[in-house]
Amino acid sequence: MSEFAKTLLGFVEQMPDSRQKLEFLEALQVCPPIELEVVPEERANKSMNHLRKRALESGQAYVIARAGRVDNLAHAAFVLSSDTILSLIDSVREGTERKTARRRPASALLAQLKPLDASFVKMRLEPRSQEEAIGGRGRVF
Amino acid sequence: MSRYLMSSQCVFDVIKRRNLDAELWLEAADARGIYADDICISAVTPMTIRWQLEQALTAARAKPEAAAYPVPLIRDFIDQANRFFEDFARDDRIIAMDHRIAVRWGDLLDMKITYGSPDGRLYDVPSATKVEIATALVGRGDFPFVYVDYHQDAHAGIPGLAVENPEKFSRR
């Protein structure tokens, strides 16, 4: 388990039993190492420009903590929502930076669709004939 | 946290929004803790569906009196399909073919895979469907997808393919 995951685990274990807790525990099991450094507030105050520059150069994230540690939420300089953390794990796991913190229920995909005419119910996708030999749709580009 | 790849036929049925099994599977997915982010489609799916609808549109324009579907209804279908695809594209959930998928696709091209249509007709699986299956087998980030597709006996003969049949989640 990565250091990041171990750090989060302490908080997650205190969550009430819920679907989200199970999701977290599962995500932490597959979470790869995430380069994230907890920096004391004193150091951040003195060298914020340096930290920002290093973050840009190395892509490493920093959490600025009061008194050098985060032992409760009030001590954190900023707080990530659980959805954002799950998304962060997800994006690192997939090696993509395009992922955003959007966790919509699956059925939300249906929200923008209206029932089409009933005559379409039995319409099926037909295999394309001669697709290998001819291809195209009678118009190319 | 399994990820799912919907087959083109399932996507086609969802877009109709007529309470078909694929749509009911999507509705039931909420209760199973599946999020929209967990559901992807192959890059060939929009092409496959648009081709089908363009064929219908061409037929309806050529012989309106004999067409199974009138032009305005097909246009509605195409518009709705495009909106659905945009939703997937926005969240990076249309899976492009990369070299690993291409290698697996090559393996499948050498396999004879036969599907059956609802009327009992047998046909060889087209290469676009083999791209979908290859995409499900390879997955994303080293995690294969569960392929969401209606039952076909041939699925069992494809090594490593995990399939979920939406008919099993139907409320009917």
What's the ipTM? 0.89
Task: Give the minimum alpha-carbon distance from A61 to chain B in angstroms, rounded to a whole number.
Answer: 22
Q: In whole angstroms, what is the distance from residue B20 CA to residue B35 CA? A: 20
Question: Can you name the residues that pair with B35 across neighbouring β-strands?
Answer: A105
Chain A contacts in chain B segment 37-56 (CB below 8 A): 37-39, 48-49, 51-52, 54-56
More confidently predicted of A113 and A57? A113
Stretch 3-22 of chain B: residues touching chain A, C-beta under 8 Å: 8-9, 12, 14-18, 20
Whether B151 shows a pLDDT value over 50: the answer reads yes
Inside any domain, residue A96: yes
Instruction: Please answer yes or no on whether B17 and A110 come within 8 Å at the CB atom.
Output: yes
Matching residue, tokens 């919509």: A104
Tokens (6 digits) for B153: 């006996």
Q: Which residue has the higher pLDDT, A3 or B36?
A: B36
User: How many CB pairs (< 8 A) connect A and B?
Assistant: 121
pLDDT in tens, A28-86: 777 766 666 666 666 666 666 676 666 666 655 565 554 444 555 555 544 566 666 66
Set of chain B residues whose Cβ sits within 8 Å of the Cβ of A126: 52, 55
Distance (Å, whole) CA A5 – CA B55: 52
Q: Is residue A117 part of a domain?
A: no
| Cβ neighbour number for residue A83 with a 10 Å cutoff | 13
User: Rounded to whole angstroms, how far apart are CA atoms A107 and B84?
Assistant: 12
Alpha carbon separation from B72 to A28, A110, A117, B17, B47 (Å, rounded): 50, 22, 11, 17, 21
d(CA A30, CA B162): 20
What is the number of alpha carbons within 13 Å of residue B76 lying toward its C-beta? 15
Q: What pLDDT sits at residue B8?
A: 98
Q: Is residue A10 part of a domain?
A: yes
pLDDT higher at B19 or A16: B19
Question: Measured between CB atoms, which of B18, B26, B84 is closest to A120?
Answer: B18
Residue A140: its pLDDT value, please?
47
Contact status, residue A26 vs residue A50, Cβ threshold 8 Å: no
Question: Taking CB atoms and an 8 Å cutoff, what residues of chain B touch A120?
Answer: 16, 18, 69, 73, 77
The number of residues making up chain A comes to 141
Residues B26, A110: C-beta atoms closer than 8 Å = yes
What is the predicted pLDDT for the residue at B49? 97
Report how far residue B116's alpha carbon sits from residue B124's, in angstroms, rounded to the nearest whole number.
Answer: 9
A71 vs A123: which has the higher pLDDT? A123
Q: Is residue A111 one of the residues assigned to a domain?
A: no
pLDDT per residue over B81-111, tens digit each? 999 999 999 888 999 999 999 999 999 999 9
Domain count within chain A: 1
Integer-rounded Cα radius of gyration of chain A: 24
The per-residue pLDDT for A141 is 45
Give alpha helix (H) positions in chain A.
3-12, 19-30, 41-46, 48-58, 82-94
Q: Is residue A92 part of a domain?
A: yes
Domain membership of residue A94 as a residue range: 3-102
Whether pLDDT at B170 is above 60: yes
Mean pLDDT of chain B: 93
**Interchain CB contact of B114 with A (< 8 Å):** no
* HSE (side-chain half, CA atoms, 13 Å) at A16: 0
Question: Is A20 domain-assigned?
Answer: yes
* B93 CA: distance to closest CA in chain A (Å): 10
pLDDT of residue A96 exceeding 60: no
Residue tagged 């679907």 (tokens): A19
The helix/strand/coil state of A139 is coil
pLDDT for B6 beyond 50: yes
Q: Are B39 and A106 in contact (CB under 8 A)?
A: yes
Chain B CB contacts of A90 under 8 Å are: 37
In B, minimum Cα distance to A129 occurs at B126
In this structure, is residue A135 part of a structural domain?
Answer: no
pLDDT exceeds cutoff 90 at A138: no
- Confirm if B8 and B131 have CB atoms less than 8 A apart: no
Lowest mean pLDDT across B4-8, B47-51, B141-145: B141-145
Q: Per-residue confidence at A98, pLDDT binned at 50, 70, 90?
A: very low
Give the integer Cα–Cα distance in Å for B16 and B78: 10
pLDDT in tens, B53-68: 999 999 999 999 988 8
Residue A22 has pLDDT above 70, yes or no: yes
Which residue do the tokens 């496959």 mark? B48
CA gap A59, A61 in Å, rounded: 6
